[in-house]
Structure 1
Amino acid sequence: MNSGAAFGADRGAMALAEARRWIGTPVKWEQSLKGQGCDCRGLVAGVARALGWEEAGSLEARIAGYARGRIDGAALKAGLDRLFDPVEGGLAQARAGDVVGLRINDNLQHLAIHAGVAGGYPRMVHAFLSEPAQVVEVPMVGYWQRRVAGIWRWREPALSSAAAGDS
């Protein structure tokens, strides 16, 4: 079994690889179907579902009424804190595959998946509402960097005592 740090990095790499498979998926509110439609929450939930991770079945992933301008940023943050490990230090400490929370109109209401650094800029995969209105991978230049509200890392799944070697 990998160490916790290596395992977390493996989960991040897996999440990013799956998120990149969603590139080109049209933006459709409250959906989470690769190639057919998703919003930003649906992208994160769909990545988890494709990888068989428990986050996909959470209340936060299934709740309806998630639409631009109607998102309760405090509730979204509480859900992220419940499902993921918050990363202290902001974007500078983010790793590929981490979930990035972004403010729109000063309210946490958009999610992306950190896609590493290229050309000196962090990158992200996200459901971009404006043209081309699809999942894209883009550099996080000034506009997006100023909107980072938090970073969350996928948690290791709880190991059963048998899997951990306790018999």
Structure 2
Amino acid sequence: MTEAASADTRARIVALARTWLGTPYHHQASLRGAGCDCLGLLRGVYAEAYGAEPEVPPPYSPSWAEDRGRETLREAAARHLVALAPDAAEPGDVLLFRWRDRLPAKHCAILTGPAQMIHAYDGHAVVETWIPPAWSRRIAYAFRFPAIRPDPAPASSPTPSPEPPS
């Protein structure tokens, strides 16, 4: 089982997400300051925190009402993040939204405070906003980033002895 991120790591996630504020909306992009969609924001923050994206997503539709019969976003999140109950989510955690009953979750955001989130607002930009009741009712899943593992210490090697003079 993957270890979940600490409060310090989640605070770092929120700080990183805030550096994306104002990034224009661009479907399937993930480049801070240039363009991203909701998944691109999540991918970019993950890459900045962990050094690389966990996977490159296949092409996907911008339609929130599209139903391919699978929870593709939830499945990808479950491969790389730690699932938790939506009511247990804290700042720095990821929220997935389902816009209609029986449709897959198609939008994601990073929780930044009680009823506040950062997300890519379709047609506009990355914004930090409150979560209105209509959105709150649509939270289908929540996930926590994994713990950031420290770089392993370099293996100690014996100090070479100086060569004797010849």
Which one of 129, 135, 159 corresponds to residue 126 of structure 2? 135
Partner of 1:15: 13
State the alpha-carbon separation in 2 of the partners of residues 157 and 71 from structure 1. 34
Matched, 1:101 2:99: no
* Counterpart-to-counterpart distance in 2, 1:144 and 1:77: 17
Residue of structure 1 aligned with 2:34, choices 33, 36, 43: 36
State the shift of 1:156 in Å.
Answer: 1.5
Deviation at 1:82, TM superposition (A): 1.1
Residue 126 and residue 95 in structure 1: after superposition, are their counterparts in 2 closer, same or farther (change >3 A)?
same
Aligned residue for 1:65?
A: 60
Distance (whole Å) between structure 2 residues aligned to residue 75 and residue 31 of structure 1: 18
How far apart are residue 62 of structure 1 and its match? 3.3
Match of 2:118 in 1: 125
The residue aligned with 1:156 is 147
Runs of 4+ aligned structure 1 residues displaced above 6 Å come to none
Structure 2 residues not aligned, in runs of 5+: 154-166
Question: What is the aligned length?
Answer: 147
Q: How much does 1:67 deviate?
A: 2.3
Provide the rounded CA distance (Å) in 1 between the counterparts of 2:120 and 2:67: 16
- Equivalent position amino acid for 1:74 in 2: E
**Distance in 2 (alpha carbons) for counterparts of 1:68 and 1:143:** 19
Contact 1:124 1:140 in 2 (8 A): yes
Q: Output the TM-score relative to the length of structure 2.
A: 0.78
Shift of 1:75: 1.8
Q: Which blocks of at least 5 consecutive residues in structure 1 are unaligned?
A: none
Question: Per the alignment, in what secondary structure is the counterpart of residue 45 of structure 2?
Answer: helix
CA contact (8 A) 2:50 2:148 kept: no
User: What SS does structure 1 have at the residue aligned with 2:72?
Assistant: helix
State the secondary structure of the residue aligned to 2:26.
Answer: coil
1:42, distance to aligned residue in structure 2 (A): 0.2
SS in 2 for 1:144: helix
Match of 1:115 in 2: 112
Q: How large is the Cα RMSD of the aligned pairs?
A: 2.2
CA spacing shift, 1:14–1:158, aligned 2, 3 Å: closer
Question: Higher strand proportion, which one?
Answer: 1
Displacement of 1:66: 4.3
Quick check: 2:73–2:106 contact (8 Å CA) kept in 1?
yes
| Preserved contact between residue 71 and residue 109 of structure 1 (Cα < 8 Å) | no
SS of corresponding position for 1:51: helix
- The 3 A distance-change label for structure 1 pair 152 and 41 is same
For residues 144 and 14 of structure 1, the distance between their equivalents in structure 2, rounded to whole angstroms, comes to 25
Does the 8 A contact of 2:54 with 2:80 survive in 1? no
